[in-house]
Structure 1
Amino acid sequence: MTDTISIAALVAEDLRSLASKLKRKLRAQGHPGNLTASQASVLVRLEKDGQMTTSALARAEGMRPQSMGALIASLEASGLVVGMPDPSDGRQTILSLTEDCRAMIAEGRAARQDWLTRRIDATLSAEEQAQVHAAIVLLQRLVEED
């Protein structure tokens, strides 16, 4: 009996590897400073989902509240996150991004976009760019919710 690898399995392996490499390249272009992956993830979550409590962030990130508390403390010390008392429950603190953090995120995103645009333009012909765009449309179907 011979083992055969399906085309789908090969595509999945190549795609996963490529996505990982692209993520590393983009991360390097965004000038993330000394942020850990967990810190960056929390900042992106606060940017996309808005203000939250430490416990809500911990649930959303799959972390223990104590671990999230330490992570938030370091982000507050860096001036990236600020906490304000919850107006409906003074025992809770609502966390949000500082304006400096929002600017840092926007600058990093712009740097990554600029780098990728320049690489695409310098490396791929117009026809190849159209092919990549067509492939992206197909790849988006893979991540759409059922």
Structure 2
Amino acid sequence: MDDDQTHKDDPEAGRALTIAAELRVVVSRLIRRLREQADVGDLTSSQKSVLLHLEREGPATVTMLARAQNMRPQSMGAIVSTLEVAGLVDGAPDPGDGRQTILSLTAACREMITAGRAARQDWLFRAIQTNLDQREEEQLADAIELLKRLAAS
């Protein structure tokens, strides 16, 4: 029996499928709106991914970044080079292997990331205050707990 038939025969499964589809669409829209709130310039998604990796995981070599992003070191080298020219990452010799360079975020990049997060949070704060009443804010808080559980599963 295919999944569509299973969902027709099981109303609870059909409802969960509908909720999953609607949640995916709504979350995608919310993410898009949040991204609109903090312009990070002309960075590509690969460049943003590298910056966020360095912020989250700390300093890394080009090889480590390439491995983390599932790409060739040569391709990662081009991305890193662009980020260095833009003043977003700095390199320092690896104390354990002088042939390697350890890359880290610059202070300017950290400020850019912080400002972007603040802009997104401010937009979301204003949207909640403007569009939701107290009861709806409480419902949203409850929904956040459910979303945390889904994200952790």
- Tell me which residue corresponds to 2:148: 140
Residue aligning to 1:6:
14
User: What is the match of residue 133 of structure 2?
Assistant: 125
Counterpart Cα distance in 1 of 2:71 and 2:26? 28
- CA RMSD after TM alignment: 1.5
Per the alignment, in what secondary structure is the counterpart of residue 99 of structure 2?
strand
CA distance in 2, matches of 1:26, 1:120: 13
Deviation of residue 8 (structure 1)? 1.5
1:66-120 CA deviation, whole Å, 9 max, x = no partner? 2111111110110101111100100111000000000000001000000000001
Q: Deviations over 1:25-62 (max 9, x none)?
A: 11110121111111111111111110011111111122
Letter in 2 for 1:98: T
1:58 aligns with 66
Question: Aligned to 1:84, what secondary structure does the other structure show?
Answer: strand
**Separation in structure 1 between the aligned mates of residue 142 and residue 82 of structure 2, nearest angstrom:** 42
Question: What is the number of equivalent residue pairs in this alignment?
Answer: 145
Report the AA paired with residue 20 of structure 1.
S
* Structure with larger Rg: 2
Report the TM-score, using the length of structure 2 for normalisation: 0.89
Map 1:65-144 onto structure 2 (within 5 A). 65-144=73-152
More helix by share: 2
Instruction: Give ranges in structure 2 of 5+ residues lacking alignment.
Output: none
The correspondence for 1:28, drawn from 26, 36, 42, is 36
Identity of aligned pairs, percent?
54
Distance, in Å, in 1 between the alignment partners of 2:72 and 2:151 is: 28
TM-score scaled by structure 1? 0.93
